Amino acid sequence: MRRTKYMIAFVAATMLMGCGKSDLGPETASVSGTVYLDGKPASGVDVTFLNSDYSVFARTDSEGRYELVSGAAVGENRVYFSKMSGLAIEMSPGETMDEGQLMAMSDPGIPKSMRPKQLIPVEYSDPLTSKVTFAVPSDGSEQADFKLTTK
């Protein structure tokens, strides 16, 4: 009988731990759009939305379209873009990898001339200095379009 009481108390306490507010991260909303480079849709560009709590990215398709599958944090986000030449990483739709993971995969033993090169100008590709921002509304956006230039 005593063991049963403890077991019931343990089960009840465990169930109560699941109740209440869960803080699994910021509120997110669906975001999609098109990236243009010098007026043309840009394929194979990684588009990263970053705020103080959350980072997510997607790769543009052959028409320059992207969709952040898990959504972006509602509110102001810094946005940066990356497209590397000589980088042979195939990713499935919905699969994500941040810039740090990509950099960790590069081998410092490879001569600089053989390393992948950034094809997007630094003013858009540097996550620390990119001035591109997008305010994600709580109901999301299907027109988060970006017009980048190389000139």
Residue whose entry in the numeric block shows the structure tokens 């540097």? 126
> Which residues have C-beta within 8 Å of that of residue 121, sequence separation ≥ 6?
148, 149, 150
DSSP reduced 3-state for 97: coil
The residues spanned by each domain of the chain are 26-148
The yes/no answer on whether domain 26-148 falls in CATH 3.40.30.10 is no
Residue whose entry in the numeric block shows the structure tokens 């001339």? 113
Q: How far is it, in rounded angstroms, from Cα 133 to Cα 117? A: 24
* pLDDT tens column, 50-107: 999 899 999 999 999 999 999 999 999 999 999 998 755 555 444 555 556 656 555 6
Q: What is the pLDDT of residue 151?
A: 82
Do the strands 65-73 and 133-136 form a parallel or antiparallel pair, or are they unpaired?
unpaired
Q: What is the mean pLDDT of the chain?
A: 81
> Which residues have C-beta within 8 Å of that of residue 42, sequence separation ≥ 6?
35, 36, 60, 64, 83, 148
